[in-house]
Structure formats: structure tokens, C-alpha cells
């Protein structure tokens, strides 16, 4: 009944999503709609890329698209190796949402994703692999490898506190030095508001996390 209504891939994905494979889980079909909706969203993203992209004039994926892909490769690879299928599936959902919002049209992004989803939804993966122009099974494709350089954050958000009370945040380049960070905090347009006619005694910087301006 479930396979007839939702398809075998939905059932397979949902069973993996229920929880760790080594634990007993109560069977409940109430959440199967969520798995079905995700597969439809992934399918729609794939169809959009296949129909609108031009393999002869493929542009370079954006840094945001590469970051979404390589986060997914890293997470899914690690989760499969540890049999944590239930945590790999949310990673697919996040990546699909991110790439949909980015209006991704890159086959270079889609092809690795189709390979990654094959263990979870093999029928959909085979269909998409064929639509991408391949004549062999997706199961024979080389498993994608993540590149750490795409996961490096370009910027970091640091909270600014006054005597330990957080007031606002500032975005900095990830490689900003302490002198630059302190100068930006002291010179921020909101800083005078929270100084309250007090003097700055010192500025404490917790790398990549917080700036605490100590006043007296």
C-alpha cells in the first residue's frame, strides 16, 4: 500500500530516517509524507537543472553552491561509514533547500548529489543519472570526495559585549587580526550608546566568538 501510494524510494528513505539502525523503532507512517515531499523537492531541483543547464556551456558553480555540495559530501560519507543513515537524510534536505534558494543550475553540483542519494533512493537516482546522459548505472559511478577548502568560512560573526552583556554583532573576515577587530568594535556606531559616558579599561577578544569591552 505504501509503495503503491508513495513509491519504493519513499519507503526506503523513511525507514532509514526513523532512527539509528541498531535501535528498535516503533513503526509509524504518519511522517512518511515528509520523506515523500523531500524526494519531490529533490526531483524538482534536479529537473530544473537538467532542463535549463547547458552541458556545452557549463559555468563555474558559485562558492555558496560548492560549500553546500561539499558539506553534504562530507556529512553523507561520514554517516554512511558509521551507519548513521538517519542523520545523513536531514543533510540532504538542508542542501536541497540551500541549492533551491540559490537557484542552482549547475550539473557539476547535481551529478555528485545524484551519486550521494543513490543508496537512499536508488530508483530516482538511476532515472536522474540516465537523464544526465550516462549509459552506466549510478552505482558504478565514482563516489564524490569532499574538499576541505570549500568548507572554510570566509567571514565570522563575533558578538560585542559591554561588561559581559551582549549588545550587537560584527562580521569580520575569517583572517582578521585582533588589532583590526578591536578597532572595529571601538569605532562601531553603536558603541557610544553602550559606553554610557564610561571609559574603556580593556578589550577582551575570544577568537571567532566574542569581543568584551570592559568599562569603568
Residue 167 has pLDDT above 80, yes or no: yes
Same domain for 114 and 187, yes or no, is: no
If you average pLDDT over every residue of the chain, what do you get?
90
Same domain for 51 and 138, yes or no, is: yes
Q: What pLDDT score does 24 carry? A: 64
What mean pLDDT is predicted for residues 11-32? 74
Rg (CA), the chain: 23
For residue 156, the SS3 value is strand
Same domain for 52 and 100, yes or no, is: yes
Same domain for 102 and 193, yes or no, is: no
Owning domain of residue 107: 2-151
Q: What pLDDT score does 170 carry? A: 95
Residue 160 has pLDDT above 80, yes or no: yes
**Number of domains into which the chain is organized:** 2
Q: Where does residue 78 rank: exposed (0-12), middle (13-18), buried (19+ CB within 10 A)?
A: middle
Residue 53 has pLDDT above 80, yes or no: no
Determine the Cα angle at 109 with ends 107 and 115, to 5°.
95
More confident residue, 213 or 59: 213
pTM score, whole prediction? 0.72
Same domain for 175 and 97, yes or no, is: no
Q: What pLDDT score does 174 carry? A: 82
Long-range pairs for 166-170 at CB < 8 Å and ≥24 separation? 166/210, 167/194, 170/211
Give the count of beta carbons closer than 10 Å to the beta carbon of residue 81.
Answer: 8
For residue 65, give the nearest of 124, 130, 116, 113 by alpha carbon: 113
Residue 108 has pLDDT above 70, yes or no: yes
- Residues with Cβ < 8 Å from 197, sequence gap 6 or more? none
Amino acid at each position: 500500500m505504501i509503495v503503491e501510494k508513495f513509491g519504493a524510494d519513499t519507503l526506503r528513505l523513511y525507514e532509514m530516517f526513523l532512527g539509528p539502525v541498531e535501535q528498535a523503532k516503533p513503526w509509524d507512517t504518519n511522517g512518511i509524507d515528509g520523506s515523500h515531499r523531500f524526494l519531490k523537492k529533490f526531483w524538482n531541483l534536479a529537473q530544473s537543472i537538467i532542463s535549463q543547464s547547458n552541458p556545452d556551456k557549463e559555468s563555474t558553480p558559485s562558492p555558496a553552491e560548492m560549500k553546500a555540495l561539499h558539506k553534504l559530501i562530507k556529512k553523507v560519507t561520514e554517516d554512511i561509514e558509521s551507519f548513521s543513515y538517519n542523520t545523513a537524510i536531514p543533510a540532504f534536505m538542508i542542501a536541497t533547500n540551500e541549492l533551491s534558494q540559490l537557484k542552482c543550475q549547475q550539473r557539476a553540483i547535481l551529478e555528485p548529489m545524484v551519486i550521494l542519494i543513490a543508496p537512499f533512493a536508488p530508483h530516482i537516482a538511476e532515472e536522474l543519472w540516465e537523464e544526465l546522459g550516462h549509459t552506466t548505472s549510478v552505482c558504478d559511478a565514482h563516489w564524490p570526495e569532499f574538499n576541505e577548502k570549500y568548507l572554510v568560512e570566509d567571514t565570522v560573526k563575533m558578538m560585542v559585549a559591554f561588561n559581559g552583556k551582549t549588545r550587537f554583532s560584527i562580521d569580520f573576515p575569517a583572517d582578521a587580526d585582533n588589532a583590526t577587530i578591536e578597532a572595529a568594535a571601538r569605532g562601531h556606531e553603536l558603541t557610544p550608546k553602550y559606553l554610557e559616558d564610561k571609559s574603556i579599561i580593556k578589550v577582551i577578544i575570544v577568537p571567532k566568538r566574542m569581543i568584551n569591552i570592559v568599562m569603568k
